[in-house]
Structure 1
Amino acid sequence: MHDNHDIDILISEVGPRDGLQSVKATMPTALKTAWISALAGAGLREIEIGSFVPAKLLPQMADAAQLVAHGRTLPGLFVTALVPNLKGAQAAFEAGVQKITVPVSVSEPHSLANIRKTHAQVIEEVRGVIALRNQHYPHVQVEAGLSTVFGCTIQGVVPADEVIRLALVMAGLGVDEVGLADTVGYANPTQVRQLFSRLRNELGTVAGSAHFHNTRGQGLANVVAALDVGVTTIDASQGGIGGCPYAPGASGNIVTEDLVYLLESMGLRTGIDIDRLVAAREWLQQGLPGEPLYGFIPDAGVGKNFHYAKDL
């Protein structure tokens, strides 16, 4: 488990997975490892280093096992990866990950489009992953990452009852956490408050992280709504890269740099040094020349009134 007693909010950096997976170019492994080291050096405690999928499908992710091995050498870093199925889970476990996230679309049409599986098939897949974990890799955590929970480009409205029903199924299968993701950037703060409240009431400690996209500019507002109802793990991506295949021209994930500023200025400790975090963008710029990077803090700086939470 994490040893995070000295921080209030855990930021899970998903740039190396959700970011790089969404970019056509493939970042060289040497630059990825330098980038991950720089992120960890800035104080990030959890990094999703990639996804375990066939290299022919996503060549950007072909070096996932190498990156796990590298991440495990970095002191204090918790190494996670995304896996779409049992085969991916097996590879991730063998590589030495400390946690896997299995994406589960609440919208069945999205599930069919994304991984060509019905809900019944996804449930069987997760059952197999949990059995494998319990038998051979008991120390690895398994998270079900529910996606399209706030709406879906294919299905449209996704009822909250459906989200909770599927979350309870996942908890029943034995996952350690159920996270909620706003895959297409439809969420608003009222909806976030209501859904995470219900999730926490129904699942208790199994209720997990929040993954928001900034597609329509609501990302940080949704973070504050999640904080209001007790969420303590938030996903973000350096430079806001990735996370937005369906909305051309829109930024995708919420920007790690801006999130750290928000939390620290609100008096919530993240353990992250903003200057070192902004400096880590250099590896991203080298690895993905010409790729747009987002964020206000890298351009504006933190301002004269800023203090880290620990100094407030």
Structure 2
Amino acid sequence: MARPTRVEITEVGPRDGLQAEPKFVPTEVKIKLINELIDAGVKRMEFSSFVSPRAVPQLADVLDVLNGVDRRKGAVLAALVPNAKGAIRAAEAGVDEMIVFVSASESHNQKNVNRSTDESLAGFAEVAKIADEAKIPVSAAIATAFGCPFEGNVPAERLGYVAKHFVDFGFKSVALGDTTGMATPPLVTRNVRYLKEHVPELPVHLHFHNTRGIGLVNVVAGLDEGVTHYDSSFGGAGGCPFAPKATGNICTEDLVYLMNEMGIETGIDLEKLMHIASEVEDAVGHPLPGQVMKAGPRLQLHGMGDVQTAVG
């Protein structure tokens, strides 16, 4: 299959990137970052989550953030909703899109939301009804889609089982989440092909973490299967707080740089992203793992006087 010539990147940094940060990022800083992302050309992002503030204190200001963002430029502001209560709050707030999530593995779903996979799926029926009444589209995500830290490999059939429920609920897409960075190119190929064959009604998105250093390699595997939608986080921030040794998402600047070098359009300004990533580092108070934010694009040239000359 020919690789796509354009991809859509969903920025998940304001939600997935910040959710586990111990230092609270001020609301006004979050609003500033989101507005800057929109100005940089980001057309869709997970801006926050309607989870319990006790569970994720970092995102307790979801309503204030939404009310503070400049929504006149048309970017889709999506929010994670864990259940019907969250969906009601999201609908009342007027989000552009809701996102629901469930783990492919039973054990991780129990750790993540304290219920079985089937219990989560049953709850999505009410979410779908609330969203439909509010005329808000719903996307879905499957966590641990490429492997579970407690159970190991996850069969492709398990993904199909979950995804078919999403079709029944009328959800618009399914994102395969590499929650603990267990994805490899062969698994990406297998899972994408399986869903395209068995659940063709549902467009596949990919959400990779860089836990083992091959996040962007997995993106290329997805491109080879024709996938056009990818999630990423500014500076590579993030990581699931309910999965051992989980690290950050693939980095938005690194992903955009890769797409630029492959001749694939994103519509996102790389220089602006690099500046935003530096601001995020200041906000969280520690270095982020992104590479391009440190090194710059490959053709960012330097003067001869910038480097000392060898002696001897």
Instruction: Please name the residue that 1:69 is paired with.
Output: 67
Distance in 2, Cα, partners of 1:193 & 1:83: 29
Amino acid paired to 2:166: M
Deviations 1:34-68 (A, max 9, x none): 11111111111111111111212211001112222
Q: Among residues 93, 99, 112, which one is paired with 1:95 in the alignment?
A: 93
Q: Among residues 199, 202, 215, which one is paired with 2:211 in the alignment?
A: 215
Seen in structure 2, the aligned counterparts of structure 1 residues 72 and 34 have a Cα distance that, compared at 3 Å, is closer
Distance in 1, Cα, partners of 2:225 & 2:69: 32
Alignment of 1:228-307 (within 5 A): 228-245=224-241, 246-248=243-245, 251-289=247-285, 291-304=286-299
Task: Name structure 1 gaps, 5 residues minimum.
Answer: 1-6, 307-312
Query: What is the CA-CA distance between 1:205 and the residue it aligns to?
Result: 4.5
Alignment of 1:96-245 (within 5 A): 96-134=94-132, 136-138=133-135, 140-245=136-241
Instruction: Please name the residue that 1:31 is paired with.
Output: 29
Amino acid paired to 2:60: A
Q: Is the 8 A contact 1:215 1:247 kept in 2?
A: no
Q: Among residues 2, 8, 11, which one is paired with 2:6 in the alignment?
A: 8
Instruction: Please name the residue that 1:81 is paired with.
Output: 79
Query: What is the CA-CA distance between 1:109 and the residue it aligns to?
Result: 1.2
Deviations 1:194-242 (A, max 9, x none): 1111212223352231000000011000001111111111000001111
- Please identify the structure whose Cα radius of gyration is greater: 2
Using the size of structure 2 for normalisation, the TM-score is 0.90
Distance in 1, Cα, partners of 2:63 & 2:112: 23
Amino acid paired to 2:68: H
Distance in 2, Cα, partners of 1:121 & 1:247: 23
Instruction: Please name the residue that 2:57 is paired with.
Output: 59
Amino acid paired to 1:298: M
Seen in structure 2, the aligned counterparts of structure 1 residues 25 and 125 have a Cα distance that, compared at 3 Å, is same
Query: What is the CA-CA distance between 1:247 and the residue it aligns to?
Result: 4.8
Query: What is the CA-CA distance between 1:111 and the residue it aligns to?
Result: 0.9
What is the count of residue pairs matched by the alignment?
296
Distance in 2, Cα, partners of 1:81 & 1:31: 18
Distance in 2, Cα, partners of 1:72 & 1:156: 43
Distance in 2, Cα, partners of 1:205 & 1:98: 22
Ranges of 4+ aligned residues in structure 1 off by more than 3 Å: 244-248
Query: What is the CA-CA distance between 1:76 and the residue it aligns to?
Result: 2.7
Distance in 1, Cα, partners of 2:217 & 2:69: 31
Amino acid paired to 1:78: V
Q: Which moved more, 1:34-43 or 1:237-246?
A: 237-246
Distance in 1, Cα, partners of 2:176 & 2:21: 23
Using the size of structure 1 for normalisation, the TM-score is 0.90
Amino acid paired to 1:67: V
Root-mean-square deviation (CA, aligned residues, Å) is 1.7
Amino acid paired to 2:49: S
Q: Is the 8 A contact 1:14 1:47 kept in 2?
A: yes
Distance in 1, Cα, partners of 2:199 & 2:70: 30
Amino acid paired to 1:178: V
SS for the counterpart of 2:138 is strand
Distance in 1, Cα, partners of 2:281 & 2:223: 31
SS for the counterpart of 2:142 is strand
Distance in 2, Cα, partners of 1:108 & 1:247: 16
Distance in 1, Cα, partners of 2:180 & 2:148: 7
Q: Is the 8 A contact 2:278 2:293 kept in 1?
A: no
Q: Is the 8 A contact 1:244 1:253 kept in 2?
A: no
Q: Among residues 35, 39, 42, which one is paired with 2:40 in the alignment?
A: 42
SS for the counterpart of 1:206 is coil
